[in-house]
Amino acid sequence: MDLDYALREEESPAPTDTDAPELKEKYECKSIRGAVGEVTRAKDFLKTIKEQFAKSDKALASTLMKTLTSKIFDSSKGVHAHITEIRDLAAQLKTLKIDISEPFLVHFILNSLPAEYGPFKISYNTHKEEWSITKLLTMCVQEEERMKQDKPEVAHPVTRPKGKGKKDHGKRQYKVPPKTDGSKTSWI
């Protein structure tokens, strides 16, 4: 079945008065109507629809830039996912003719990392060579693994005062401090 025939081929000539009524009936189909207006050809219809639903690249670029500049690593997804998201946002901006240089992106990613990555950032800054995004990604993942291994396993004990959670019903006696006559007293 040739579903895209009307899109690939030009419109056939209009039927004349001498043509059969069945041919005229098929030619004058009433299925293309509504909010689009009086459009009789499929190509014109699709062109009109495209114009009505045109998206604004400026709005999309603005949204992507806002998302990119507000990215901060929160360690919930891992450093690999964080860097990949930033790299993907930069690639989407590039398709909208907003180029972000790789050195800028490397520094931007490093600045989005938390204070725990401070020694790693210092190490990057002391090297003379510039890293690519791929090298930064690899090095950050290694640093994340190193920090996980260096982190000691800690158990946080939880204590609860006696009687907490039990219903008291007024049975507990509380001591009231003695009243003073205004003179200074020492409790030592």
pLDDT at 32: 45
Predicted TM-score (pTM) of this structure: 0.54
Q: What pLDDT does 81 receive?
A: 94
- Residue 72 has which token pair? 């901060």
Q: How many domains does the chain have?
A: 2
For 17-42, what is each residue's pLDDT tens digit?
Answer: 777 777 777 666 555 445 566 767 77
Tell whether 74 and 46 lie within a shared domain: no
Residues 113, 70 share a domain: yes
What angle (nearest 5°) sits at the alpha carbon of residue 25, between those of residues 20 and 28?
A: 125
In angstroms and rounded to an integer, the radius of gyration of the C-alpha atoms of the chain is 36
Asked if the structure places residue 4 within a domain, the reply is no
Q: What is the mean pLDDT of residues 161-168?
A: 60
Does 177 map to a domain?
no
* Band of pLDDT at residue 122, cut at 50, 70 and 90: very high
pLDDT at site 104: 95
Assess whether 47 and 63 both reside in one domain. no
Per the domain annotation, does 124 fall within a domain?
A: yes
pLDDT in tens, 37-74: 676 777 887 888 777 776 778 889 999 999 999 999 98
User: Span 95-117, mean pLDDT?
Assistant: 93
The type of residue at 70 is: S
Question: Does 95 share its domain with 42?
Answer: no
Instruction: Determine the Cα–Cα distance for residues 149 and 168; give it in Å rounded to an integer.
Output: 47
